[in-house]
Amino acid sequence: MGGELPTMRIQLAFCAVLLAAALGGAAAQSPVIPSPGDVIVRTDPLVRAIQIGPPPVGAVRAYDPATGVGLVAVPGIGVRQARLIGVPVAWVGQRAVRAADLATGVEFVAVLPTPPQLVPAKVVRSIGDSILVRRELPEARVTEAVPVGSVFALYQGGLAPATRVPHALQPGSAVLIPPDGDHRARVIVPQGAVTGSRTRR
């Protein structure tokens, strides 16, 4: 009996070592369960939209011709900064362009606002963020500075911002501008004075 007790103690100790080793291996192989405080990465709503269906269609609310970037309202997602690509094309009775979201790179269709009634003019020269244009009216010649974003040109059978049409802003090019220019700097020369100046030359 005296010899069996040490033997049992050795066996128990050996079993304890085996159990500890087994538990340690299981812990190493078990997946890590995140705690409630861990950060969860959420998918961008625009990315999620194209994962579950076709690309959305947005509406351009503002546009900076200097950078080519606009603010596009996308239904169910919100207003996104997007780069407008190419020239407008006819789309379901409206005009639309390709747009690339700056945050995700996702491309989608962006519908342009309906342009106001436009009148023809000719480019004189560019002056910073404005374009100096000239209009020939029956009673006078009008030269005025128009914001570059309000200058349009005909291109491929449609209407496009002049900044997106090759050579549209070169001197002498025909463009279209909104007629309402109450807040624009302008010089009006009566047609009689124009004719007189030409005669003296």
12 pLDDT tier (thresholds 50, 70, 90): low
With 50 as the cut, is the pLDDT of residue 33 above it? no
DSSP 32: P
Q: What are the start-end ranges of the E strands in the chain?
A: 57-64, 69-74, 78-91, 94-101, 107-111, 119-127, 130-136, 140-147, 152-155, 158-161, 174-177, 186-190
Instruction: Compare 88 and 41 and report the one with higher pLDDT.
Output: 88
Query: Among the residues of the chain, which ranges form H helices?
Result: 4-29, 45-52, 191-200
With 70 as the cut, is the pLDDT of residue 88 above it? yes
Give me the chain's average pLDDT, please: 78
Q: What is the pTM of this model?
A: 0.51
* pLDDT per position as a tens digit, 89-99: 888 888 899 99
* pLDDT per position as a tens digit, 130-140: 999 999 888 88
